[in-house]
Amino acid sequence: MSGTTHPSRVELPGLKRALILHFDTCGPMNTTCIGGSRYFVLATDQNTGFKLIKFVATKDKIYSKVIELITEAEMYSGRKTVMIVTDNGTEFVSTDQ
């Protein structure tokens, strides 16, 4: 199987104590969850692997859940977010916020 590989991740020693969050979304799911959610947003801290998840009813609500996840990650870790990594999906690059 041939294909492209992801670029190597650059490890900067000064960022070991920083909060670097990777975001991804999944959905729409075929089955609606309790509360009407059909999507979820996952945040993963690059340095620790700590994960937070929020369930979302519609794709247009993802932006507000990302803000909530950043706030919660900073609260739990005691660190400030210095970098956000995404796959540049339309839910992250939209200018309609």
Specify whether the CB–CB gap between 49 and 64 falls below 8 A: no
Written out in words, the top-level CATH class of the domain with range 16-88 is alpha beta
CA dihedral of 77, 78, 84, 86, whole degrees rounded to 10: 20
How do the pLDDT tens digits run along the chain, 97 residues long? 456 665 555 555 555 678 999 999 999 999 998 889 999 999 999 989 999 999 999 999 999 999 999 999 999 999 999 999 988 776 666 655 5
